[in-house]
Structure 1
Amino acid sequence: MKQRMITGIIAAAAFLPIVLIGGLPFLILVYVMSAVAVIEALKMKQISIFSIPGLLSILLVFIMLVPQSDRADWQFLGMEKFEYLGLFVLLFLVVTVMTKNQFTFEDAAYCILLTLYIGFGFYYFIETREAGGVLYVFFALFITWASDSGAYFIGRSFGKRKLWPDISPNKTVAGFYGGIGSAVVVAAVFLLFLDFQAPALWVLVSAAILSVAGQVGDLAESALKRHYGVKDSGNLLPGHGGILDRTDSWLFVFPLLHMLQLL
């Protein structure tokens, strides 16, 4: 627990200022984090990052992360993101032929899905920072962290009934609702003490929805790890696991926050 707290404090001290600064340092950070997350996911499937599928996966997730403001550059190259995705699907299938099916159709599908999963979430992390503003990013982050902490501490204190034991045996129903309650409390703090230009009802309801989304994102990654028999996606963050372990909730929260902002 002590190691987990120390790592969390150091990581937050390095991460939050870059989010606040924005611009190129923020983009570089997100690209690095997404690349590490892809590498961790490939490792679960025992696909080498130095293989053709590994390099294609990294390249595709980088293409997916290109911000909306840079869309004209992609039009200059002659293809939209969707067309690049189609091209990479074909390239992955070519690799299945070149390797005489040692790299299987299932492997190709895994690489495509993981780049969509990771790229989609981190893309909207960038979009929220660039379009919605830094306050919305902090709103999503603190909602996610509060939900995670609330679920952990309330689950340990009051949790008896398991939430989804086949996927994550430590999560409880009490923790699930405790996470939602903690997220709503943090949302109320945003309304009371920060110049958060959004209707109060929207903020509180969105906090509850994002808490649920974050917990589902956590369960989704738990299901992935359980399927491949690994405890953590990596060991980059002592006490926390890998980048994918720390951002699995974000990959659900930021796309959903973008959709909620459109309402």
Structure 2
Amino acid sequence: MGLLDGKKLLVTGVLTEGSIAFHAARLAQEQGADVVLTSFGRQLRLTQAIARRLPAAAPVVRLDVTSAEDLAALADVVGEHTDHLDGVVHSIGFAPQSVLGGNFLAASWEDVATAVHVSAFSLKALAVASRPLLRRGSAVVGLTFDARYAWPVYDWMGVAKAAFEATSRYLARDLGPDGIRVNLVSAGPVRTTAATSIPGFEEIERRWPERSPLGWDMRDAEPTARAVVALLSDWFPATTGEVVHVDGGFHATGL
């Protein structure tokens, strides 16, 4: 018997086999879930190809989280593959290079707004778009990078993550009466496409393994994916508005 037997999940952010979302989708299937993926634009074909590398090939539906049309149609297009959802995984983030890598003071509002829209507001947008399919006892799980600190080079993405974490708490408040849980996993640095695209991200990576009580392997996304799967399961029925750290314990030791 799997941890997610019979559950129907929507997973965003699967782009490569190194994606945390890919490993979450893989583990979810191994634990008995049916999975639908999202993608759009030039990434769509990549996601479709990667979907075939899962234990069971997963359908891919179009979703640009900044598109009002895509969001409005989401319940219908997902409904072509399942009549309900038990969980949604938010693994979406983007910021223009101009707001990263030491450009905090020089960043323009237009580029900052893009980062906040895609990386923070999208959590609310995705949850609301999925809400018609979500049932009592379902879960929304997102991925963050500890927003309590001013990290080197992370700059306005760090601000977007702070907004993302606040958004999750307000969603937990407003979706709780419907029996929908909203939680985040704060992962240590994993060498995903998103992480390696940040100029100077090695400054964050460099000290992580030595400062983490449990150690840390930046090439291994599975510990983070396991936490996502656990939060999607029925084993956290009274937990919402929480941020679970999966970072080798780095958060407990200070910078």
TM-score of the pair, normalised by structure 1: 0.25
TM-score of the pair, normalised by structure 2: 0.26
Considering fraction of residues, name the structure with more strand.
2
Considering fraction of residues, name the structure with more helix.
1
Larger Rg: 1
